[in-house]
Amino acid sequence: MWRGLIAHSTDPDALRHDLDHGSITFYVGFDPTAPSLHMGNLLQLITVRRLQDAGHRPILLVGGSTGLIGDPRQTSERNLNPVEVVHEWVERIRSQVVRFVSYDGSNAAIIANNYDWTCGLSTLDFLRDIGKHFSVNRMLDREVVKTRLESGISYTEFSYVLLQSLDYLELHRRYGATLQTGGSDQWGNITAGAELIRRVTGDKVHALSTPLVTKADGTKYGKTETGTVWLDPAMTSPYAFHQFFLGAEDSMVGTYLRLFTRRSHEEIADLERLTEESPHLRAAQRALADDLTDLVHSVAQRQAAEAAAKAIFGQGDLRELGADTLGAVVAELPSATWAGLGERTILDALADSGVVASRGAAKRAVAEGGAYLNNERVLDPDRRLDPADLLAGSALIVRRGKKTVGAVTVS
């Protein structure tokens, strides 16, 4: 509660009692609606770790069947992905979630796929055994359904809540799951599952949701100008991932530290105080970025990201960066692409990359001693570019002064 992790709970006192009196089994689900999990899923994975560290047994459910349907969105109907694509995404997401939990001890994690108990379920059995417990009136009261009624919602998406509720019932029967967690946008689905268990078995189970993580202006945290922050390093590089958290707002970084890290009350209070007194140090942001990059990627990947960040601003050797790290850096910089070097000069590289506004401005930067190629000062405005200048055989990093950096990729 101090960390701000609880948005909703069906019965906090009863849940507190059960958590305190022995190990419980709980689950969280992830639908494969993309080839990777993203920033919005990270809080759920960290919540799973917290509960397992406290002695409870997690089930991580990858929705091979619910991913074929898609949870209703506020805006419009989802495009249904081909079965073979969804099954491929299931395996990719399974490989991501396994890194966040332990498979040892009495509370060893379980990985489940709801396709296992739905693929053989007939329509008649589903309607008789599950559908009869749901009131259409209550389903129509769901906020997302109300929003979509005017624009239209298919029976497929309308009935999604039944499938997710079946998951909770099935995991309760198979493994004794008595708690489902998820984001607050899933609250209706989660409580529907708890109600289905009560109707079918008479058992009382728990539901808990975490808050949606937002920026200070209320917009979703985890979106950038270039799109979603993914957990797959091929989709969001460790460098870009680390840089994203370094950019956290001063007013929100304490909240993010409480939600996402294991740091103590005292550590976070010290970092918040330091942010207020010396915001230019970015101490809290660096702690957040380091902790999460270590968790999602690795310490080595975080160290490579830090080395790359220092190198592009002249505090390291760019030629020591690996090709993957260099490519990640270039992807985050203003850049140009050339088919070849030809007769191009340093002025072309500075101007085309966007480091300066024109070749005239580039010439002035050289004359003032503020132009750099791969961290080496350039004093000759006619300096021709040579294949030997290319980093990893394909890139040039140019800089004006200390902070304005750009890149050129040469094919």
* 298 in the same domain as 389: no
Give the tens place of pLDDT for each residue, 312-334.
988 889 999 888 899 999 999 99
320 found inside a domain: no
Give the pLDDT score at 4: 95
* 357 in the same domain as 301: no
Among 117-126, 153-162, 365-374, name the one with the lowest average pLDDT: 153-162
CATH of the domain at 178: 3.40.50.620
Q: How many domains does the chain have?
A: 3
* 270 in the same domain as 134: no
Give the tens place of pLDDT for each residue, 205-221.
999 999 999 999 888 88
Q: Which of 210, 237, 253 is the last residue of a domain?
A: 210
161: number of Cβ within 10 Å: 24
Strands 25-30 and 177-183 come out as parallel
* 127 in the same domain as 264: no
Give the pLDDT score at 142: 79
| Domain carrying residue 401 | 333-411
Give the tens place of pLDDT for each residue, 256-290.
999 999 999 999 999 999 999 999 999 999 999 99
CATH of the domain at 361: 3.10.290.10
Give the pLDDT score at 139: 80
* 272 in the same domain as 239: yes
395 found inside a domain: yes
pLDDT at 197 over 80: yes
* 144 in the same domain as 247: no
**Residue 355 to residue 365: CA distance in whole angstroms:** 10
Give the tens place of pLDDT for each residue, 125-151.
999 999 999 888 888 887 788 777 878
DSSP string, 204-237: --EEEEEPPPB-TTSSBTTEETTEE-BSSTTTS-
pLDDT at 186 over 80: yes
Give the pLDDT score at 78: 76
pTM (2 d.p.): 0.89
Give the tens place of pLDDT for each residue, 22-32.
999 999 999 99
Give the pLDDT score at 170: 97
